[in-house]
Amino acid sequence: MCSDQYEALSDEQKRWATRLDTTAGARSDWLHEREWRIPVSEDHESVLTLPREAVAAILVETPW
């Protein structure tokens, strides 16, 4: 959604909208979205080692 479309939305609608503007000065910044999803085999042979200070949170899927 570009800036003019986004601005036409009500405040309630803006909470659910995703800005994808690439215009200089109004560019959408998604750098804070650094979610990585790393599939691991059931036998845990696939392993990714990260330093403790590099991890802010680990989300684990509900097993049921």
For 9, 26, 57, the CA distances from 50, given in Å and listed in that order, are 41, 34, 12
The better pLDDT of the pair 14, 60 is held by: 14
Whole-prediction pTM = 0.36
CA distance 13 to 24: 24
Tens of pLDDT, residue by residue over 34-51, are: 676 777 777 766 677 778
Q: Which residues contact 1 (CB under 8 A, 6 or more apart)?
A: 17, 18, 19, 20, 21
Is residue 52 over pLDDT 80? yes
